[in-house]
Structure 1
Amino acid sequence: MPDEQRPVTVGELSEQAVLARVFPLLPTARGTLLGPGDDAAVVAAPDGRFVVTTDVLVEDRHFRRAWSTGEDVGHRAAVQNLADVAAMGARPTSLVVSLVVPDDLPVTWVEGLARGLAAASTPVGAGVVGGDLSGGPLVVVAVTAHGDLEGRAPVTRAGARPGDVVALAGEPGRSAGGLAVLTAGRSSAALAEVGPAADEAVARYLRPRSPLAAGPAAALAGASAMLDVSDGLLRDAGRIAAASGVLLDLDEDALAPDVAALAPLAARLGADVRHWVLAGGEDHALLATFPPGTALPAPFRTVGRVRAVDGAGPRVLVGGGEADVAPGWDHFAG
């Protein structure tokens, strides 16, 4: 029998009992014809096509329960997938979520996860239509997201052309700053004078804010290439450069507001603020290129230009020269 002084754990309930607590917390997806509860969901695809992406969060590699609540992890899991859909110029419609949990995990943590998924998905009209639940030694959250192109062509990484404007929607470096704060310890004496800035950075790490509506808006405005900035601005810009066969030349002055906003916090931690902004990941900003003269949809801002390749091939420059910081996150190289 569970002790009334402690939370009920997953291992003390049946799978059906856990799901019965979770299903009422999940949002209904736009276009859902048959939702959770059957062998599979049925979702309308009025465009005749659908965008699909998947991502996974593994405990102690992508998040720590000591730092993150269930709501935090649910929000993060939704945003990192919804941002990939938006980066194709599509409107997110539905999520499928698979969850692995240890027996001793409080059921309230799983309920929090559902609330976090809902909080991130509901504003864009997306919802959870199904998934799977299994036991395991640690928490793993796998999300598959779908999106509707609404008759538009997808915006890929391969369309940037010399002369295009490079534009960014979002604020790079915040998540990296938050991770640095958590690693240092939020009660560190070094952070005493920048308390609000430290708290804000942590919030942006735990629950990234992605400008999801900007993806379809960019497609409607004629974006030539676009992607979700998840592994760092330099690394992801390099992916557009490689796919398009061009140079992306970032204007460091255009990123100066991001550097200035984080500089006091970085100074207190002895960190390189430029590395946070240029190479920090998990902000889920959108990086796009637009033909010259395009009126950029909000909140995109110009941060560089596309140039023709030279003898060194496609790559990213900063202020016309080679970048002097490591490009960003790689899941296996670090």
Structure 2
Amino acid sequence: MSEQTSDETLQQVGEFGLIDRVARMVQQGPAVLLGPGDDAAVIAASDGRVVASTDLLLEGSHFRREWSSAYQVGRKAAAQNLADIAAMGAVPTALLVGLVAPGDLPLTWARDLAAGLADECAPLGASVAGGDTTRGDVLTIAVTALGDLRGRPPVTRSGAHPGDVVAVAGELGWSACGLEFLARGAQADAPEEALRRHRVPRPPYAAGPQAADAGATALIDVSDGLLADVGHIADESGVAIDLDRELVEARVPADMADAALRLGIDPLEWVLTGGEDHALVACFPAEAALPEGWRALGRVEAAGAERGAVTIGGKTWVGVRGWDHFASR
């Protein structure tokens, strides 16, 4: 994280001063042939195909400066986009970042944001290859992630078949748990793991290509909630999915269960409907061996009259299934 203590603002240094102080300080990964400084970056695509995904983070909706540091926001912004690349069975190569910021934003905040973005990319051999900045009233971060399939076919949401095993890599529910405590102003009572995971998720990046190599028929990043995102697989594949309640309950750590009990909340609500942990969920043929780190959650069934249906132990979940950017409040 940057140790810069300057009290300069973006208005004082200007757009090109910001670029000089932030964009050009980032080390470039091996896939970046030409980084910041020209009209566009040049990224190697050894596979001949480029996987691309984009996301927006708005202050007040996706992050709050009183809850997370700029460095943590940078890590989170990178993670949620890099996880989308992994969810296609690809390896991340680069990020392009757009920043909309008020003129009085401290330069140190922008520098620490850039450091967080870079540090999340670095272990993957990826990097921030370029982007843009402009002035605006609402602090907004736009991230586009690029990836390389390295000869693999992309694993989409539409390939699941009846009889497939549904499995998960990574953790579920921690981010929602942390958000609940922060929203209640009860940060001091929250499990440390919940706060850490809400501020900086830990997607299992390697699990995406690993699943593709193991024959996964469908794959998705859990960003909006397990039920909602598994529902996307069910809908796109024209199937139904039943999650095993006991297997789902086994994903609830003791600390999370204790925290839920203190708040009078069913911890399954966090695991099933909480987003932003960025675990990966895949469907595998019944005869396939699950790769290391993957755990079974349920099974794909024929759709019948309920194409896209997701049940838990054969029963429909009553209530919200996950986050919807326009319907959720």
Q: Provide the TM-score with structure 1 as the length reference.
A: 0.93
Gaps of 5+ in 1: none
Quote the offset at 1:26 in angstroms.
2.1
Q: How many residue pairs align between the two structures?
A: 323
Do residues 217 (structure 1) and 214 (structure 2) align? no
Once the two structures are superposed, the pairs formed by residues 298-309 of structure 1 within 5 Å of their partners are 298-309=292-303
In the alignment, the residues of structure 1 paired with residue 6 and residue 262 of structure 2 have an alpha-carbon distance, to the nearest angstrom, of: 39
Q: Tell me the residue number matched to 1:93.
A: 93
Contact 1:166 1:290 in 2 (8 A): yes
SS of equivalent residue, structure 1 residue 179 = helix
Retained in 1: the 8 A contact 2:31–2:126?
no
Per-residue deviation at 1:128? Answer: 0.8
The code of the aligned residue for 2:260 comes to A
Identify the residue that residue 31 of structure 1 maps to in structure 2. 31
- CA offsets per residue over residues 122-148 of structure 1, 9 Å max, x none? 111111110001111121000001100
Summarize the alignment of residues 121-200 of structure 1 with structure 2, pairs less than 5 Å apart.
121-187=121-187, 191=189, 198-200=191-193
Amino acid at match of 2:197: R
Task: State the SS of the aligned residue for 1:267.
Answer: helix
1:39 CA drift (Å): 0.7
Q: RMSD of the alignment, in Å?
A: 1.4
Instruction: Name the CA shift for 1:61/1:125 in 2 (closer, same or farther; >3 Å).
Output: same
Asked whether the equivalents of residues 27 and 121 of structure 1 are also in contact (C-alpha less than 8 Å), the reply is no
In the alignment, structure 1 residue 255 sits paired with structure 2 residue 244? no
Aligned to 1:318: 312
Unaligned stretches of 5+ in structure 2?
Answer: none
Taking the aligned partners of 2:34 and 2:6, their CA distance within structure 1 comes to 37
Deviation by residue 1:162-187 (Cα, 9 ceiling, x = unmatched):
11110001111000001011111245
Q: Distance in 2 between matches of 1:16 and 1:132?
A: 10
324-333 vs 6-15, greater mean Cα deviation: 6-15
Q: Does 1:67 align with 2:67?
A: yes
Query: In structure 2, what is the equivalent of residue 246 of structure 1?
Result: 239
Partner of 1:21: 21
CA distance in 2: counterparts of 1:260 and 1:206, whole angstroms: 19
Contact 2:214 2:290 in 1 (8 A): yes
Moved more, 115-124 or 293-302: 293-302
Task: Determine if contact 1:246/1:313 at 8 Å carries over to the other structure.
Answer: yes
Q: CA 1:294/1:42 → structure 2, altered by over 3 Å: closer, same or farther?
A: same
Tell me which of 183, 198, 202 is aligned to 2:195. 202
Letter of the 2:32 counterpart: T
Is the CA contact (8 Å cut-off) linking 1:98 and 1:143 kept in structure 2? yes
CA distance, structure 2, for counterparts of residue 212 and residue 25 of structure 1: 25
Runs of 4+ in 1 over 4 A off after TM superposition: none
